Structures are given as C-alpha cells and as structure tokens.
Structure 1
C-alpha cells in the first residue's frame, strides 16, 4: 500500500469514529449529555470536549500548526482534567462546533503532511514523531472514547450502534435485551460457582 492510500484509509477511519462519537449525543437532553455516568465523572459531552482538545494538540501543535483557539493545559494540575466535562456556561453546540473546527484544522494538517513528516510530542518526551504514529494514536484514542460513549449511551437509554440511524433501527426491543442480560447473568453466576 502506498503512503497516500494508507493516509486516506487512516483518515477515513478517524472520520467514522468522530461521527460515531457525535451521534451518541443525538436525541438526548442537555442533562443527559453532561450527566456523570462513572465514578470519575465520565460523560458524553466531556468525551467530545476531551477529544477536541487532544486532537487539536496532536494534529496541531505537535506539527507546529497550533489550533487558533485556547486549549486547556496538560502540564498544569489545575487544568489537567478540565477538558473532561463541560461547564454550565459551555453549550452543547459550542462544544460540538469546536470539535468540528478541530476536525477542519486537523484535516488540513493531515492533507498538508506526508506520513513520514515529523513533529514533537512534548508530553511523550519525544522528538521527531512521524505523522503516521500520531495519526494512529489519535485514531486509537478516538476509537477508545467512542467505545466509552457507546457504553454511556446504552446506559442512558439503551440505544446502540455507531450512528443515529443504527441506534434507532436496532430491531431489538427492551424485552429482548432483558432476556439476553438475564442469560448472560446466569452464565456469569454459573461460572462463579
């Protein structure tokens, strides 16, 4: 596979994962997109804000192409987790629109550079990291958080799938999932003795 095809393939997968994360917000209330769903406060809108911050960093400042808006700092303790949740003053539209602006900025970086072009990932303590490595890292991180979003959305209203249409057209009702869960619970209890 040539570099152009590899870059296009990675970029297409990244675009799919980006869209999957945003689809998890569709149809939910303002409270539900912000609601802390885990012990550490993980929430859907916070995942979007976090992904925007770090994609801007990796596909922006790492390659000397800083995103033109302020980002929370990774190296200041008081700001370290500020990208994991949206304040009451930050609207859903603001967070989503910022993520889309980050996409455009990142896409320009991806298009302008070859996979062998290098940047500096300061928080890795690494000099000369190729775009290929950074793009794979951003794809992996986005996929990881898309998986988190899948679980959070399922917990909120049972919706599953990678986009709004799939979530709505799953074809299984609550009764099906209750029976499936009971079957899995019985297997877990059986295995535990």
Structure 2
C-alpha cells in the first residue's frame, strides 16, 4: 500500500475505534438518548458513519456496499441516519459498521492514491481515493469528537481510548474546581 494511503488509513482506523469505544460500556438507553438540542447520540453517530463510509468508499468508486441502508435513501426521513429505531439493536448497528469497514478497507487496498471516482451527491465531481480518505477521516474524527462530548455528559468518561484520556493527569476531584475557575473567568464578560 502507498505509504501516504497507509498513513491516512491508520488515522481513519484510529477514529473508527475511538467512535466505537465511546459507546462501549454504556447502557442501551445511554447509547441512544439525545443529549443536545439537535438530538446527537452515540448510536446514531455510529449508524451515520456506517452510511457515510459505505457511500464514499462504495458508490464513489463503483463498489456499492451490498446491504441496504434505507436511512440513506433520497426519500428517507430527515436525520434517519442519526438515531437508532427501537427495532435496530446496538449490536446490529455496530456489526454493520464493522462490515462497512471491511468493505471500505477493500476499496482502500484495491485502489492507488489517484484512483478515480465520482461523488454523485457532489454533482458527480471527480475525486481520488486520497481525497476521499482525507474527507472521510476528517468527518469521522469530527463525529468522534461529538461522541466524546456526549459520553462525557453521560458518565464523565473522556479520551481517545480506555487508557488514554489525553487530558492533564488530574484526579476527578480536580475538575469541578477547574470548571468553576473557568466559569468565573467567563462571568467577567457577562452583560
């Protein structure tokens, strides 16, 4: 594999794993519940990324993902890809996403960096595998960040993975004081 593609693929995989780690260990309710006004929830982010990767690494390069995803159809309800219905289990959505990874990884392995495709929803714009890898990696990292915040709201769990919080090595008891200090600093700018 081209070293540039291998590097991008590694970052894509790290983001995939971070996103799935955010859902690990939470209750079924917490995996699904919307914690911000726009309805963002952990399981919906996974479902969304399954559709995104299936489309960008599948349809774009003439390698459609073989399973139906009705929530991605043109006539689907708005945001149908951003939440799990009661009939969609967490295990099924996670397994689907892992199958999408495998399909996407086959596309990544089969094409050179300048492998050509077209993105229909961009007006049939010609693209390369390199461009799509950058685009999808950026998108999944963005959504992993959303998942990080949602998970922190659920139970305070933060970080890139289980043993890497990427935060200062403070005890949990330190954070409320830090939060209060920031709030007081912000209050000085209140009208």
TM-score (norm 2): 0.93
Q: Gaps spanning 5+ residues in structure 2: where?
A: none
Instruction: Indicate if the aligned counterparts of 1:74 and 1:80 stay in contact, CA closer than 8 A.
Output: no
Correspondence 1:1-193 to 2 at 5 A = 4-71=2-69, 72-76=71-75, 78-166=76-164, 172-192=170-190
Instruction: Indicate if the aligned counterparts of 1:45 and 1:92 stay in contact, CA closer than 8 A.
Output: yes
Instruction: Indicate if the aligned counterparts of 1:121 and 1:129 stay in contact, CA closer than 8 A.
Output: yes
Runs of 4+ in 1 over 3 A off after TM superposition: 169-174
Q: CA deviation at 1:59?
A: 0.4
Q: How many residues align?
A: 189
Deviations 1:131-188 (A, max 9, x none): 1111111001000000000100011111111112335x98544421111110110111
Aligned residue for 2:117, secondary structure, equals strand
- Alpha-carbon distance in structure 2 between the residues aligned to 1:180 and 1:91: 38
Q: Which has the higher helix share?
A: 1
Across the aligned residues of Structure 1 and Structure 2, the Cα RMSD in angstroms comes to: 1.7
Per mean C-alpha deviation after superposition, the further-off stretch among 38-47 and 3-12 is 3-12
Aligned residue for 2:67, secondary structure, equals coil
TM-score (norm 1): 0.92
